[in-house]
């Protein structure tokens, strides 16, 4: 056991010594000089336009409109069931955006304007969130596409210990 450990230390020492003396060894001369052709300048990356939606505006607009219009629908249904108000007034609340202003009671005109404004703001925020923005962006071309490689699919024998079979490999 001790001899085996000493052998490992000697092998490790020789490997370190050979690795450390690598810069001191003279460089080998090449028999034929290799001339590499001048590399062509890389083509510029393609500039494309990407449409980006604004998920924050979409969510805010949907929640704001949903809560304010849902409240108006609930109030409209409650007024129709209780028959406390005219049917026209109850049905006016079911109209989105303009309904609370058109059908609301005259003394509460300010509240009805704010209610319709909340619905309108929700619709506008949702619209601008869906409209988003078109932003120019450069796309990195994958190396395989730049080199002109085509996608390949290969069926190869599997070379491993205690196994046999075939392996399906693909590159794209």
Question: Where do the structural domains in the chain lie, given as residue ranges?
Answer: 58-131
Helix, strand, coil fractions of the chain, as percent rounded to 5? 55, 15, 35
Mean pLDDT of the chain: 77
Q: Find the mean pLDDT for residues 111-132.
A: 93
**CA–CA dist 72, 96 (Å, integer):** 8
Q: In the predicted model, is pLDDT for residue 146 greater than 60?
A: no
* Other CB atoms within 10 Å distance of the CB of residue 114: 13
Q: Computed from CA positions of residues 47, 51, 54, 59, in that sequence, does the dihedral angle turn out positive or negative?
A: negative
* pTM score: 0.52
Percent of the chain with pLDDT over 90: 23
- Tell me, what DSSP letter sits at residue 169? E
pLDDT exceeds 70 at position 157: yes
Residue 164 predicted with pLDDT over 80? no
Q: What is the pLDDT of residues 24-79, one digit of tens each?
A: 555 555 555 566 666 777 776 666 777 788 999 999 999 999 999 999 999 889 98
């Amino acid at each position: 056991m001790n001899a085996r450990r000493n052998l490992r230390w000697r092998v490790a020492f020789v490997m370190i010594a050979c690795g450390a003396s690598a810069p001191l060894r003279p460089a080998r001369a090449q028999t034929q000089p290799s001339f590499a052709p001048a590399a062509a300048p890389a083509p510029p990356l393609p500039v494309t336009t990407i449409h980006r939606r604004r998920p924050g505006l979409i969510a805010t607009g949907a929640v704001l409109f949903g809560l304010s219009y849902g409240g108006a629908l609930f109030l409209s249904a409650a007024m129709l069931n209780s028959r406390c108000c005219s049917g026209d007034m109850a049905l006016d609340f079911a109209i989105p955006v303009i309904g609370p202003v058109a059908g609301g009671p005259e003394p509460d005109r300010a509240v009805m304007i704010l209610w319709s404004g909340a619905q309108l703001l929700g619709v506008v925020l949702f619209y601008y969130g869906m409209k988003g923005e078109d932003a120019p962006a450069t796309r990195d071309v994958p190396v395989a596409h730049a080199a002109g490689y085509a996608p390949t699919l290969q069926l190869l024998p599997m070379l491993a210990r205690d196994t046999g079979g075939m392996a399906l490999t693909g590159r794209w």
